[in-house]
Amino acid sequence: MYRMKTRKLGTQGLEVSALGLGCMGINFGYGTVTDKNEAIKLIRKAVELGVTLFDTAEVYGPFANEEVVGEAVAPFRDDVVIATKFGFDIQDGKSVGLNSRPTHIREAVEGSLKRLRVEIIDLLYQHRVDPNVPIEEVAGTVQELIREGKVKYFGLSEAGVQNIRRAHAVQPLSALQSEYSLWWREPEEAIIPTLEELGIGFVPFSPLGKGFLTGKIDENTRFEPADFRSTVPRLSPENIRTNLIFVDFLKRIAQRKNATPAQIALAWISAQKPWIVPIPGTTKIERLEENVASTTVAFTEEELKEIDAEAAKIIPQGDRYSEGSAKLIDR
């Protein structure tokens, strides 16, 4: 098994591979469901390549994603870190809104433990901040679960600075998971400085801009209605046409570094802080190998400054979420 470099998330002892695997897309979000055997093969290949952080959630499927991840990593349980999330009300196989009430958190955790085939969840995130439940109650419930030996580490996803601080004061956070990429740099304003101050790790999702930064999407790309990207304003045909300038810029750097645009985008994120661990998702083994190889791409200070300067000249067109999804983001 390949040994990838590791990184520490938070100050509570959580250590993971420098790159994780976001498992959502295996059977949720993109309108397709990967064959179970193929999905297991992909996840086990990731383990072979040195990936130790696997990210899932009860709402992905719902439920099916956790089951696949649990089965795939069962033979390597002691060598991997499984992250999952609670926070949605799931009825008749569909999410019907947010729910982070303490009793619901406990129900969700019991379900996740069974589906993941584990006795303890390594990293438990609140999937989205629930405005109807004080974050202190959420953190307190997770703290109880940690004391009971059902959870090891606590995280939040897409939380704003105030809720990060309030939760951390009750139960120290090991990680925040939020969107971050060369294409979406808002976390640099307040989130990343707060995480640095408090000693919390950062796990960026969509580090490849929902696939856009790979260079495999152009103005002729049409997403199926069941693919959530069909609702993303930034990925509308007219905005893609304008935003391709971003991919051209990545291709120029990639050519110089003998890498791919995806590898440049991932390596850039990792170069920002030593406690950042991106979790790109894929369903293809060749893309998985490409992403893992990004951990060997290094930049000089001059190159990072050049990328920053070039990227700053480009204003991405379109919002990163549809109006409905944007309402779930904590500010």
The SS3 of residue 3 is: coil
- Looking at residue 181, the DSSP 8-state letter turns out to be B
pLDDT in tens, 98-119: 999 999 999 999 999 999 999 9
Read off the pLDDT of each residue in 179-205 and give the average, rounded to a whole number: 97
User: Could you give phi then psi for residue 137, rounded to 5 degrees?
Assistant: -65, -40
pLDDT in tens, 35-69: 999 999 999 999 999 999 999 999 999 999 999 99
Catalytic residues: 60
Task: Yes or no: say if 29 and 75 are a contact pair by the CB < 8 Å rule.
Answer: no
Q: End-to-end alpha-carbon separation of the chain, Å?
A: 41
**Considering the entire predicted model, what is its pTM?**
0.97
Q: Using alpha carbons, select from 149, 148, 214, 156 the residue that is nearest to residue 181.
A: 214
Is the pLDDT at 22 greater than 90? The verdict is yes
How many Å apart are CA 328 and CA 27, to the nearest integer?
22
Q: Using alpha carbons, select from 107, 171, 122, 108 the residue that is nearest to residue 143.
A: 171
pLDDT in tens, 245-304: 999 999 999 999 999 999 999 999 999 999 999 999 999 999 999 999 999 999 999 999
How many Å apart are CA 317 and CA 313, to the nearest integer?
13
Q: Would you tell me how many other CB atoms lie within 10 Å of the CB of residue 310?
A: 15
CA dihedral of 113, 118, 119, 121, whole degrees rounded to 10: -70
Task: Yes or no: say if 121 and 84 are a contact pair by the CB < 8 Å rule.
Answer: yes
Task: Yes or no: say if 100 and 133 are a contact pair by the CB < 8 Å rule.
Answer: yes
User: Could you give phi then psi for residue 214, rounded to 5 degrees?
Assistant: -75, -20
Spell out the domains of the chain, with CATH numbers in brackets: 6-208+272-297 (3.20.20.100)
Is the pLDDT at 330 greater than 90? The verdict is no
How many Å apart are CA 28 and CA 241, to the nearest integer?
27
Beta bridge mates, 95: 90
What is the average pLDDT value for the chain, to the nearest integer? 95
